[in-house]
Amino acid sequence: MKISVKVPATTANIGPGFDCLGMALPIYNIITIEETVLPGTGIEINVIPETSAIDELSLEHIPLDENSIVYKAVQLLYNSIGQSPSELKINIKSSIPLTRGLGSSASVIVGALVAANELLGKPADEAALLSIASELEGHPDNITPAIVGGLVISSQEEDGTVVYRKLNWPSEWHVTVCIPDFELSTDIARSVLPKEVPMKDAVYNLQRMAMFMDAINNKDAELMKLALRDKLHQPYRMKLIQGLDKIMDNLKHIDSVLGCVISGAGSSILVISQKNDLDKIKNIIRDTWADQNIKCDLRTLNIEEQGAHIISSDE
């Protein structure tokens, strides 16, 4: 039996929502799991890059054995019902750029879990899949939109369960994803964050999250310009993303820009804007990075409302 699952890319944090806000985007990985019939063949994992955005150097760092996050996801699910995975072939068709803050690891975790769950006869419900995936990823901000789609606020509780609610993103607000040609690992991006933050910074972000929710609900562009600011992670990560300070400064003069934020841990950034000046916005980003010899891929995308789903099932 062979199962293929299509999983969207995700962007997390979106300014003030550190580790709790996430959004699905229409860039996809396809994870296929096939039960092989030859005993003793073990686990075979193949990564197939679908676009030039997935460079071979990045692929060299992906474990293709029992140390792979894909295998660990499958193993956790099998173990939860008292079984162990045996002979499986796992293919990952990868279109989500790696180490760019677009949820590539979350997508393969989710895809592997959904496919394995189907192979096993669906023993795990959505809540169980969210819990297992978040345990592997460490937080639910990318995992949740990868599974359920859309814009999501989520929390992983002390018992491991994930609580989430979907929010309605205003269709008149554009999201432009800006993907530079340099990597930034999540471990490095996490390492620069302080273990404690000043009370005034925590209060600042609480205020911005409240503004964010109201701005979304009421399509309030002026409030969103305030809401997208952050003091918990972006000030510390700015130095890791070359040219970001200049891009932000250059975009300040365009009234239709609501904000520029780091996508997840980076290195990609998001520019949120109203439906005009898109060409001007893209030219500013492209030219600013070009001045520093950085190439980039710029994509203005809609929110992907559908999460991970099975696209083929062969018995």
DSSP of 110-154: HHHHHHHHHHTTS-S-HHHHHHHHHHHHSSSTTHHHHHH-SEEEE
Could you tell me the CA-to-CA distances from 6 to 28, 29, 47, 89 in Å, in that order? 6, 6, 15, 17
200 or 36, which is more confident? 200
pLDDT of res. 62: 55
Q: Distance between CA 13 and CA 22 in Å, rounded?
A: 6
Q: What share of the chain is helix, strand, coil (3-state, %, to 5)?
A: 35, 30, 35
pLDDT of 69: 85
Mean pLDDT over 20-33 rounds to 96
How many CA atoms, within 13 angstroms, populate the side-chain half-sphere of residue 107?
32
Instruction: For 144-168, give one letter per residue: b (16+ CB within 10 A) or e.
Output: bbbbbbbbbbbbbeeeeebebeebe
Query: Phi then psi for 130, rounded to 5 degrees?
Result: -60, -45
Quick: pLDDT tens for 79-97.
988 888 878 888 999 899 9
- The predicted pLDDT at position 256 comes to 96
**pLDDT surpasses 60 at 59:** no
Q: How far apart (Å, rounded) are the C-alpha atoms in residues 213 and 215?
A: 6
Q: What is the pLDDT of residue 1?
A: 84
pLDDT at 66 over 70: no
The pLDDT assigned to 150 comes to 98
Mean pLDDT of the chain: 91
Q: Which range has the top average pLDDT, 40-49, 56-65, 138-147, 181-190?
A: 138-147
The yes-or-no verdict on residue 103 having pLDDT over 60 is yes
Q: Give the domains, in start order, of the chain with CATH numbers.
A: 2-168+304-314 (3.30.230.10), 173-301 (3.30.70.890)
Q: Mean pLDDT across the stretch 212-238?
A: 97
**What are the strands of the beta sheet with 257-262, ordered from one edge?**
257-262, 269-274, 173-180, 296-301
